[in-house]
């Protein structure tokens, strides 16, 4: 394992930022630390960097315990949330700074900086000051500056938080590809699950200073280990009284269930295929979501959401429709359980 | 993010080098230049009994200086708050010729040596001066009376009040007033109900700073005051007199009273401000 | 219409206040300085004692500004860039000279170095004179203007945050490199602003200096003290002539101040 955290604890006054945190990261992986505000993810990142000192536990990088190693000797590149570019230096000087500190010779610095400027695609902007750059460009410079001294580990604190939604997507793809190209082990912090799912090889979900789950994005989506993970990854809606739905029955110890829009299939009444497994419900509202429709549905007292392709038959507000629910996550304070629609499964088997 | 606002202090980690050196230099210089000399006040008084101390600081003539200092400072500072709000208002809200010059002029009492201000005000307000001459004709004397002290204190206090209020008015969104205007409030009503509460904490700070400065001020007041015991003698002047008589114990005793008073004043203003801010935030 | 009248009245009221309180005193100095002709004026300002006083004033101001700038930068760096216990207390202690009468500022040095002072035997042994001599004047001036530079820098550095410094430290830069390359460019105008304020106040300091100077004419007289002596000797024209030098410096400082303040505001945007 390249980076290892063992039983890390950190308190700020009464605030528990890290509560017995342990995890390990393989070399070359791109890891997303995902969690809501105040979940402790930034503190974890800053402790790995050496910007904060843990109250207890060990941080190991490349087999070496680095707790007492100063931040500057850990061989880490850090991209700050607001980039922290040196406002009074040019793009070139910003990227060259770390190399100058290491007293590299001028020719090497020039060659290395130019190489990085090419990598980030900002040729011709070397002489600009940070305030003359767009958000995306600043981010690229911060990235190049962190990479310049050839760190072994790259840490990024909310790398996309300060960027317009429009270019954020483009930048995500770029960052992923560039990190792969450079081949550096990287950890980034984000509160945006979509971002984490799209960019990271593996996701670490944090909540209230604890780790909820570690795994690939698909893994977490399919098999959430905790109710928090289930709710945090993917769209989800919480319902009670799930026992009234066809094909499901109330399970001991599980009062609530999570339902994802993908688990719900809506058909026009007359096209209903599995009557035993389906519900009758009403369409309360329809929203256009750019590339699909979002339907708000009610069945009895329960409300949930489904998506519908624009190519499908037109459904109108107020219409009574057939609703098939494939599966639910049942959960309580400690556990999550996936249950399938039994009537649908039986029916399915029957038709085959 | 939690670490940005709520815990802004936390962000400063001691990763940045140089803490020991800069802290060391700071503490050493502060101790040598400010703390140690100030401590000498207490050291000097340790040889004095409390009864002696009390006799000196409650001596009739000394008490008279407190009264002169406090009452003149109170009047001058009140005048300054009124005109300070007025000046801050016209400088931020109106455009008119010479506005920038007037704005720059506010700082004059900071830049002008107090002794120069003192002799200039004394001459200007004396019986033969440009302004004093007019008042002399109707039988009012300004220089060498308490009125003169008040004038000198107004002079040195202006910038404190204006410069406390001005930034608040600049930041106060005009939409705020426009909203009140749209609701049909009159101009004066808007000022007293909408604008005034906003600038009150700043005005208080200005009041406190100006008041403290007025009480301690020496250079610009000493000339115009005339230094007549029981009438126009201010507290810093009586300390100076005691020093000239080499009565160090008495001078130090009165100085201690002034220092304590200044601390109480600033502490009180801070407290009041905290309370006002609390009310404003709910 | 009514609004316009109110506006005009307010402006006139404010303008009149400033003219009476600030412009007239300034004009008084210049008019009185020149009322007996230019020759008397130039004689007064080239007077031997006046020139010596000017030298001493400039010397004291120079030392004060250097000392207080060094202190201000280190203090601001300590308070704005690090977290430690007792930071609030330290900030308060630094501000003490603001709330203390200049007379008391002078007095405390007499209590340390004067005949009754606890450091007096030591000084006597080494034959050093501080009170009633030049070092006393310098010390008193430093005391009075002690917080000026740090006061300007602390809020500026705090608003700046320490991300850039952290980034530089992370790359292994040392304290001096970080300060000169990263921090200083941010605060240069604020620093200049503080230095100007400190200069202005040092040049004109009267009360504290008056206490420690002992009024040895030609030896321990600063320009403001020289003005006092002339005024008390009823040499009005000479007093105002010498004052006009100080007024000139004050006006230059005011102009500089406004330029710098404008730059500081622009930087903050």
Please give the Cα distance from A72 to C177 (Å, whole number): 14
C22 vs B106: CA distance, rounded Å: 8
Question: B54 — contact with chain C (CB < 8 Å)?
Answer: no
Percent of chain C residues topping a pLDDT of 70: 97
The string of pLDDT tens digits covering residues C77-124 is 999 988 888 888 898 889 888 888 999 999 999 999 888 888 888 888
User: What is the model's pLDDT at position B1?
Assistant: 31
Q: pLDDT at position C105, please? A: 93
Over residues A146-159, the mean pLDDT reads 92
| SS3 call for A287 | strand
Residue A156: band (very low, low, confident or very high) from pLDDT cuts 50, 70, 90? very high
- For residue B210 the two structure tokens come to 């100006």
Looking at chain C from residue 128 to 187, which residues have their Cβ under 8 Å from any Cβ of chain A?
Answer: 163-164, 166-173, 177, 181-182, 185-186
Give the residue-averaged pLDDT of A135-158. 92
Q: pLDDT of B154-203, one tens digit each? A: 999 999 999 899 988 888 877 777 777 777 777 778 788 878 888 888 89
Q: Do A51 and B7 touch (CB under 8 A)?
A: no
pLDDT at A302: 86
Q: Which residue of A has its CA nearest to C167?
A: A84
Residue C92 to residues A53, A133, B30, C87, C103: CA-CA distances in angstroms?
A: 29, 40, 11, 9, 21
Chain C neighbors (3+ CB pairs < 8 Å): A, B
What confidence tier does B280 reach under pLDDT thresholds 50, 70, 90? low
Q: Is the dihedral of CA C116, C122, C125, C128 positive or negative?
A: negative
Average pLDDT of span B75-82? 95
Residue that the structure tokens 């390249």 belong to: A2
Q: What is the pLDDT of residue B6?
A: 34
Inform me whether the C-beta atom of residue A43 falls under 8 Å from chain B C-beta atoms: yes
pLDDT in tens, A226-250: 888 888 888 888 888 888 888 888 8
Chain C residues inside the 8 Å CB shell of A73: 172
pLDDT tops 60 at residue B9: no
pLDDT in the model for residue A347: 60
Question: What element of type H or E holds C251?
Answer: helix C236-268
- Whether residue B29 and residue C15 make contact (CB cut-off 8 A), yes or no, is no
CB contact under 8 A, A15 and B7: yes
Measured CA to CA, the distance from residue B270 to residue B282 in angstroms comes to 18
Q: How many alpha carbons fall within 13 Å on the CB side of residue B275?
A: 7
Quote the CA–CA distance of B72 and A40 in Å, as a whole number: 57
Kindly tell me the burial class for residue B89, based on how many C-beta atoms sit within 10 Å of its own C-beta (0-12, 13-18, 19 or more).
Answer: buried
Closest CA to B86 of C7, C78, A45: C7
Q: Output the tens digit of pLDDT for each of chain C's 269 residues.
A: 677 888 889 999 999 999 998 999 999 999 999 888 888 888 888 888 899 999 999 999 999 999 999 999 999 999 998 888 888 889 888 988 888 899 999 999 999 988 888 888 888 888 888 888 889 999 999 999 999 999 889 988 888 888 899 899 988 888 889 999 999 998 988 899 899 989 999 998 999 999 998 766 667 889 999 999 999 898 889 999 999 999 998 889 888 888 888 877 776 65
B26, B107, B215: residue with CB nearest C257: B107
Q: Could you tell me how many CB contacts below 8 A there are between chain B and chain C? A: 287
State the average pLDDT for chain B: 85
State phi, psi for A249 to the nearest 5 degrees.
-130, 150
List of E strands, A236-301: 237-240, 256-259, 264-268, 278-288, 293-299
* Cβ neighbours for A269, distance < 8 A, ≥ 6 positions apart: A280, A319, A320, A321, A322
| Interface contact flag, C81 B12, Cβ < 8 Å | yes
What residues have CB less than 8 Å from A342, skipping those under 6 apart? A247, A248, A249
Nearest to B45 by CA among B255, B211, B213, B210: B255
Residue B8, pLDDT score: 37
**pTM, whole model, 2 decimals?**
0.82
C25 contact B CB<8A: yes
Q: Which residues of A touch C182 (CB under 8 A)?
A: 86, 88
Tens digits of residue pLDDT in B82-138: 999 999 999 988 888 888 888 888 988 988 999 999 999 999 998 888 888 888 888
Environment class of A103 (CB within 10 Å of its CB; exposed 0-12, middle 13-18, buried 19+): exposed
The residue-averaged pLDDT of B8-18 equals 59
Tell me the mean pLDDT in the region B38-63. 89
C-alpha triplet A235, A240, A244: angle, nearest 5°: 110
**What is the rounded average pLDDT of the residues A280-291?**
89
pLDDT of residue A128: 93
Q: Which of B223, B232, B211, B213 is nearest to B115 (CA)?
A: B223
The pLDDT value recorded for residue A72 is 85
What pLDDT does C202 receive?
A: 93
Please answer yes or no on whether C246 and B114 come within 8 Å at the CB atom.
no
Instruction: Using CA coordinates, name the residue in chain C closest to A74.
Output: C170
Q: What is the mean pLDDT of chain A?
A: 88
Q: What is this model's ipTM?
A: 0.87
Could you tell me the residue ranges of all domains in chain C? 1-34, 38-268
Flag whether pLDDT at A193 surpasses 60: yes
Inter-chain touch B9–C83, beta carbons under 8 Å = yes
Is there a contact between A88 and A31 (Cβ–Cβ < 8 Å)?
no
* Top-tier CATH class for C38-268: mainly alpha
Residue A184 pLDDT: 93
* Whether pLDDT at B5 is above 60: no
Which residue do the tokens 């930048």 mark?
A171
CATH number of B48-281: 1.10.3720.10
| Mean pLDDT on A187-208 | 91
Report the gap between the CA of A255 and the closest CA in chain B (Å). 32
The pLDDT assigned to A255 comes to 86
What domains can be seen in chain A, in order of their start residue?
A: 3-232 (3.40.50.300), 237-351 (2.40.50.100)
Nearest to C173 among A49, A51, A101 (CB): A101
Nearest to B68 by CA among B178, B145, B169, B161: B145
d(CA A134, CA B192): 44
* Contact B101/C at CB under 8 A: no
What is the nearest CA distance from C78 to chain B, expressed in angstroms?
6
C123 and B CB contact within 8 Å? no
Please tell me the distance from the alpha carbon of residue C66 to that of residue A198, in angstroms, as a whole number: 57
How far CA A67 is from CA of A112, B239, C166, in Å, comes to 30, 59, 18
Q: Strand A185-190 and strand A237-240: pairing?
A: unpaired
Among A48-52, A65-69, A288-292, B178-182, which is the least confidently predicted range? B178-182
Q: In this structure, what are the phi and psi dihedrals at residue A305, rounded to the nearest 5 degrees?
A: -120, 150
- pLDDT mean over A267-287: 87
The domain ranges of chain B are: 48-281
């Amino acid at each position: 394992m390249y980076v290892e955290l063992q039983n890390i604890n950190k308190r700020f006054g009464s605030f528990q930022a890290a509560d017995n945190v342990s995890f390990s990261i393989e070399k070359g992986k791109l890891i997303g630390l995902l969690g809501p505000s105040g979940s402790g993810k930034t503190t974890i990142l800053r402790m790995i960097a050496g910007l904060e000192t843990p109250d207890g536990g060990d941080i190991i990088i490349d087999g070496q315990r680095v707790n007492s190693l100063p931040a500057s000797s850990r061989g880490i590149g850090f991209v700050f949330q607001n980039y922290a570019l040196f406002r009074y230096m040019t793009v070139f000087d910003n990227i060259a700074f770390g190399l100058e500190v290491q007293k590299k010779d001028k020719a090497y610095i020039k060659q290395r900086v130019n190489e990085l400027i090419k990598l980030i695609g900002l040729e011709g902007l070397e002489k600009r000051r940070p305030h003359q750059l767009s958000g995306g460009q600043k981010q690229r410079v911060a990235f190049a500056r962190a990479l310049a001294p050839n760190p072994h580990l790259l840490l990024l604190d909310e790398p996309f938080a300060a960027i317009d939604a429009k270019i954020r997507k483009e930048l995500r793809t770029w960052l992923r590809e560039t990190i792969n190209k450079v081949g550096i082990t990287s950890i980034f912090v984000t509160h945006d699950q979509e971002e984490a799912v799209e960019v990271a090889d593996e996701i670490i979900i944090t909540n209230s200073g604890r780790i909820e789950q570690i795994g690939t994005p698909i893994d977490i989506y399919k098999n959430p280990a905790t109710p928090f993970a289930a709710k945090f990854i993917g769209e989800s809606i919480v319902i009670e009284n799930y026992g009234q739905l066809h094909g499901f029955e109330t399970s001991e110890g599980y009062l609530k269930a999570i339902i994802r829009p993908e688990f719900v299939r809506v058909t026009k009444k007359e096209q209903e295929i599995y009557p035993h497994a389906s519900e009758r419900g009403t369409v309360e509202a329809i929203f256009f979501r750019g590339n699909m429709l979002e339907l708000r549905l009610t069945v009895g007292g329960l409300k949930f959401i489904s998506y519908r392709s624009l190519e499908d038959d037109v459904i109108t507000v107020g219409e009574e429709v057939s609703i098939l629910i494939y599966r639910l996550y049942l959960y309580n304070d400690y556990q999550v359980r996936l249950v399938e629609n039994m009537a649908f499964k039986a029916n399915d088997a029957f038709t085959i | 993010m939690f670490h940005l606002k709520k815990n802004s202090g936390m962000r400063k980690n001691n990763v940045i080098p140089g803490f020991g050196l800069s802290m060391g230099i700071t503490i050493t210089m502060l101790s040598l230049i400010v703390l140690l000399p100030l401590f000498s006040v207490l050291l000097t008084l340790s040889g004095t009994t409390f009864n002696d101390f009390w006799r000196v600081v409650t001596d009739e003539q000394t008490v008279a200086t407190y009264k002169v200092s406090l009452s003149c400072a109170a009047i001058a500072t009140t005048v300054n708050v009124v005109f300070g709000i007025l000046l801050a208002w016209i400088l931020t809200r109106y455009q008119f010729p010479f506005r920038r010059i007037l704005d720059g002029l506010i700082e004059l009492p900071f830049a002008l040596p107090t002794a120069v201000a003192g002799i200039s005000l004394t001459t200007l307000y004396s019986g033969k001066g440009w302004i004093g001459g007019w008042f002399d004709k109707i039988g009012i004397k300004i220089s060498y009376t308490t009125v003169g002290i008040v004038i000198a204190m107004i002079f040195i206090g202006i910038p404190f009040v204006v410069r406390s209020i001005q930034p608040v008015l600049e930041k106060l969104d005009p939409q705020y007033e426009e909203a009140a205007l749209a609701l049909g409030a009159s101009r004066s009503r808007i000022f007293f109900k909408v604008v005034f509460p906003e600038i009150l904490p700043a005005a208080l700070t200005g009041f406190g700073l100006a008041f403290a400065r007025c009480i301690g001020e020496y250079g610009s007041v000493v000339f115009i005051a005339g230094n007549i015991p029981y009438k126009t003698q201010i507290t810093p002047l009586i300390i100076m007199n005691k020093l000239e008589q080499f009565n160090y114990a008495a001078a130090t005793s009165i100085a201690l009273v002034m220092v304590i008073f200044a601390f109480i004043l600033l502490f009180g203003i801070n407290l009041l401000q905290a309370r006002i801010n609390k009310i404003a935030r709910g | 219409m009514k609004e316009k009248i109110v506006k005009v009245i307010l402006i006139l009221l404010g303008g009149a206040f400033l003219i009476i309180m600030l412009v007239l005193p300034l004009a008084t100095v210049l008019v009185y300085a020149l009322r007996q002709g230019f020759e008397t004026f130039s004689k007064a300002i080239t007077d031997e004692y006046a020139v010596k006083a000017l030298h001493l004033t400039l010397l004291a101001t120079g030392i004060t500004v250097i000392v207080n700038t060094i202190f201000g930068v280190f203090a601001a760096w300590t308070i704005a860039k690090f977290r430690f216990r007792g930071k609030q207390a330290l900030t308060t202690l630094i501000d003490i000279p603001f709330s203390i009468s200049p007379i008391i500022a002078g007095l405390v040095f007499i209590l340390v170095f004067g005949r009754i002072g606890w450091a007096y035997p030591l000084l006597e042994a080494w034959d050093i004179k501080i009170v009633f001599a030049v070092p006393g004047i310098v010390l008193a001036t430093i005391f009075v203007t002690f917080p000026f530079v740090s006061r300007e820098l602390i809020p500026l550095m705090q608003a700046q945050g320490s991300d850039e410094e952290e980034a530089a430290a992370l790359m292994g830069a040392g304290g001096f490199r970080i300060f000169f390359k990263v921090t200083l460019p941010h605060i240069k105008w604020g620093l200049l602003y503080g230095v100007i304020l400190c200069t202005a106040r040092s040049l004109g300091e009267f009360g504290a200096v008056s206490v420690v100077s002992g009024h040895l004419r030609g030896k321990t007289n600063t320009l403001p003290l020289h003005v006092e002596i002339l005024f008390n000797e009823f040499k009005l024209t000479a007093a105002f002539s010498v004052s006009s030098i100080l007024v000139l410096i004050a006006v230059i400082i005011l102009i500089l101040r406004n330029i710098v303040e404008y730059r500081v505001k622009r930087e903050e945007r």
